[in-house]
């Protein structure tokens, strides 16, 4: 008889490809894990792994069984969630957030979330999109805040707000490029574009807007955080794209100025993603509403929030996200929060 414990051990071994690391992940001894894997193979009537010195490799049928096991375990966790969470935003909620959102969104959202839903215990995981989506599929996370769209299967999404990109550049260059107000994407020197390292969705978005095939390619410089990128800009190494939501935090150096792009502004749509089978869709809708209210942004469905999100442009004049700009901003996204 196949058990959930065996399926959990199977998915851990498929993920780590090593009996010792899989056993440690499951908090059991290696012999205990190995015995359960053997019992599972006998129940199924097929070898799921090839044992090699120092590693294990999934067989073709093992790969298929492991994928199905992931789905079964996720559905089991969703069943438990359904029984436990009768009230909106109560109990444990495991939220994944990408690094280009977490430092700028969470400080505003967490106090309001705690005040409105004191029975909620939020557990936050911050890492890159690919890892978050993998953990979401394995039901290690309940939902993820990220840039939409996502190509991951078996997920539902809800757009929260549109986050425009601003050009960050050395102050000595700002007067020349910004003399006529907004600048065009074509005016950006792509060979001087500083990006985050591979794996960050913000890097891919910047490349899509600023470095189409056949054009000058960005500098080889890369960083793991926006704070590092901004320091490189401040010291004259190049220019970069900054999400508007991050500008108030990251613009801390007088040597850096921000300019807004001409219409149509490059932007990303920020939203939530969760498994289609999750029973906590009311929780995610409520979480989305708290995010919109806490940030004071215009919701992706065009509904204004309580107060406009405002940043003053360092060079003076109407700041990115000012009330006048917020009123003129077009709403984006396909699936707004109800």
- Which domains does the chain carry? 4-83 (1.10.10.10), 88-162+268-310+321-328 (3.40.190.10), 168-260 (3.40.190.10)
pLDDT at 320: 39
pLDDT > 50? residue 185: yes
Q: Are 78 and 109 in contact (CB under 8 A)?
A: no
Closest CA to 272 of 88, 139, 149, 164: 149
Does residue 143 or residue 171 have the better pLDDT? 143
Q: Phi/psi of residue 262, each to 5°?
A: -70, 155
pLDDT > 70? residue 249: yes
Closest CA to 301 of 145, 158, 157, 147: 158
pTM, rounded to two decimals: 0.70
Tell me the C-alpha distance between 200 and 98, whole Å: 8
Tell me the C-alpha distance between 211 and 151, whole Å: 22
Question: Of the segments 22-26, 181-185, 298-302, which one has the largest average pLDDT value?
Answer: 22-26
Structure tokens at 333: 């996204």
Torsion of CA 10, 14, 20, 22, to 10 degrees: -60
Task: Band the pLDDT of 305: cuts 50, 70, 90.
Answer: very low
pLDDT > 60? residue 16: yes
pLDDT at 219: 54
| DSSP summary character for residue 158 | E
Residue 49 is inside which H or E element, if any?
A: strand 49-52
Task: Band the pLDDT of 55: cuts 50, 70, 90.
Answer: confident
Interior angle at CA 269, CA 282 and CA 263, nearest 5? 145
Tell me the C-alpha distance between 8 and 70, whole Å: 8
Tell me the C-alpha distance between 30 and 12, whole Å: 12
């Amino acid at each position: 008889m196949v058990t959930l414990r065996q399926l959990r051990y199977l998915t851990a071994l498929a993920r780590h490809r090593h009996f010792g690391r899989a056993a440690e992940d499951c908090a059991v001894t290696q012999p205990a894990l190995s015995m359960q894997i053997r019992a599972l193979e006998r129940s199924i009537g097929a070898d799921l792994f090839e044992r090699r010195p120092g590693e294990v490799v999934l067989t073709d049928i093992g790969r298929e069984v492991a994928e199905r096991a992931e789905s079964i375990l996720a559905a089991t966790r969703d069943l438990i969630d359904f029984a436990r969470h009768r009230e909106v935003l109560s109990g444990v909620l495991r939220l994944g957030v990408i690094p280009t959102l977490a430092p700028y969104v969470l400080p505003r959202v967490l106090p309001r979330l705690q005040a409105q839903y004191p029975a909620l215990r939020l557990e936050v995981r911050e890492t890159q999109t690919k890892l978050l989506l993998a953990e979401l599929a394995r039901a290690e996370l309940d939902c993820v805040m990220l840039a939409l769209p996502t190509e991951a299967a078996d997920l539902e999404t809800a757009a929260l707000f549109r986050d425009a990109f601003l050009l960050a550049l050395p102050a000595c260059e700002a007067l020349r490029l910004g003399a006529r107000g907004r600048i065009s994407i074509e005016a950006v020197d792509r060979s001087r574009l500083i990006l985050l390292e591979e794996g960050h969705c913000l890097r891919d978005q910047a490349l899509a807007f600023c470095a189409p095939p056949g054009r000058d390619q960005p500098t080889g410089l890369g960083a793991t955080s926006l704070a590092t990128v901004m320091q490189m800009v401040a010291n004259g190494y190049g220019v970069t794209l900054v999400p508007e939501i991050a500008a108030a935090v990251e613009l801390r150096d007088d040597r850096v100025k921000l300019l807004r792009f001409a219409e149509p502004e490059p932007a990303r749509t920020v939203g939530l993603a969760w498994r289609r089978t999750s029973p906590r869709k009311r929780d995610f809708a409520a979480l989305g509403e708290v995010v919109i209210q806490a940030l004071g942004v215009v919701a992706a469905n065009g509904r204004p929030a309580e107060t406009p999100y405002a940043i003053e442009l360092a060079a003076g004049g109407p700041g990115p996200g000012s009330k006048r700009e917020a009123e003129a901003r077009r709403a984006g996204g396909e699936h707004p929060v109800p």
